[in-house]
Amino acid sequence: MMSNIPEIVFWLIPGLPLAAFGIVFLGLRILRLKSGFAALLSVSATAASFGLSLWTGISMLSAPGTSSLDGFNWFSSGNAITVDIGLLINPLTAIMLVVVSTVSLLVQIYSIGYMRGDNALNRYFSFISLFTFAMLFMVMSNNLLVMFMAWELVGLCSYLLIGFWFHRPKAASAAKKAFFVTRIGDFGFLAAILILFSSTGTFSIEGIHQAAASGIVSSAAITWAALGIFFGAMGKSAQFPLHTWLPDAMEGPTPVSALIHAATMVAAGVFLVARMFPLFEYSETALSTVAIVGGITALLAATIALVMWDIKKVLAYSTISQLGYMMLGIGLGGPGVALFHLFTHAFFKALLFMGAGSVNHSTGTLDMRNMGGLARYMPWTCITFVIGALSLSGIWPLAGFFSKEEILAAALEGQPVLFAIALLTVFITAFYMFRAVFTTFGGSYRGRSKPHESSAAMLLPMLVMAVLAVCAGWLNATGAIDSLLGDGTKHAWTTGIFGVFTHSLTWISLLMAAAGIFLAWAIYVKRWFSAERISSRFALPYFFFINKYWFDEIYNIIIGNKLLNKGIFSFFEKLDERIIDGAVNGIARLTSSTGSFVRRAQNGRLQTYLLFFAAGLAILVLMMVIIS
Amino acid sequence: MPGLEHYLILSALLFCIGLTGAIIKRNAVVILMCIEIMLAGVNVAMVAFSRFITPLQLGGQLFTIFIIIVAAAEVAIGLAIILALYRKRQTVDTEKTDFLKW
The ipTM value here is 0.84
What are the pLDDT digits (tens) for A211-257? 888 878 888 888 898 999 999 999 988 888 888 888 888 888 888 88
The whole-number average pLDDT for the span A527-537 is 78
Q: A112, A39 in Cβ contact below 8 A?
A: yes
Query: Where does the pLDDT of residue A1 fall: very low under 50, low under 70, confident under 90, or very high at 90 and above?
Result: very low
Element (H, E) at A420: helix A416-441
* Residue contacts between A and B (CB atoms, under 8 Å): 27
Task: For A346-367, write each residue's pLDDT tens digit.
Answer: 999 999 999 998 888 888 888 8
Q: What is the pLDDT of residue B41?
A: 94
B12 touches chain A (CB under 8 A): no
Contacts of B31 in chain A (CB under 8 A): 607
Instruction: Catalogue the E-assigned strands of B1-102.
Output: none
pLDDT digits (tens, 9 = 90+) for A337-351: 888 888 899 999 999
The DSSP-derived string for B50-65 is HHHT-TT--HHHHHHH
Close Cβ partners of A369 (under 8 Å, ≥ 6 residues apart) = A309, A439, A446
How confident is the model at residue A494, as a pLDDT?
A: 66
Query: Hey, is the C-beta of B24 within 8 angstroms of any chain A C-beta?
Result: yes
Q: Has residue A63 got a pLDDT over 70? A: yes
Backbone angles phi, psi at A89, to 5 degrees: -105, 110
State the Cα torsion A349-A354-A356-A360 to the nearest 10°. 160
pLDDT of the residue at A319 = 92
- pTM higher than 0.90, yes or no? no
- Which fold would CATH assign to domain B4-89? Helix Hairpins (1.10.287)
- Domain parsing of chain B, residue ranges: 4-89
Residue A2 is predicted with a pLDDT of 52
Whether B98 and chain A come into contact, CB under 8 Å, resolves to yes
B37 to chain A, closest Cα gap in Å: 16
| For residue B19, pLDDT beyond 60 | yes
pLDDT digits (tens, 9 = 90+) for A185-213: 899 999 999 998 888 888 888 888 888 88
pLDDT digits (tens, 9 = 90+) for A117-131: 777 888 888 899 999
pLDDT at A12: 87
Per residue in B50-92, pLDDT tens?
989 988 888 888 999 999 999 999 999 999 999 998 998 888 8
**Eight-class DSSP state of A548:** G
Instruction: Write down the pLDDT at residue A442.
Output: 81
Of A439, A267, A396, whose CA–CA distance to A343 is shortest?
A267
Per-residue confidence (pLDDT) for residue B47, from 0 to 100: 92
Chain B residues in contact with A614 by the CB 8 A cut-off are 19, 23
SS3 per-residue string spanning A25-92: HHHHHHHCCCHHHHHHHHHHHHHHHHHHHHHHHHHHHHCCCCEEEEEEEEEEECCCEEEEEEEEECHH
Residue A33, pLDDT above cutoff 70:
no
Q: Is the pLDDT of residue A275 over 50?
A: yes
Alpha-helical regions (H) of A71-168: 91-114, 121-140, 144-162
For chain A, the average pLDDT equals 86
| pLDDT reading at A3 higher than 70 | no
Q: What is the pLDDT of residue A337?
A: 84
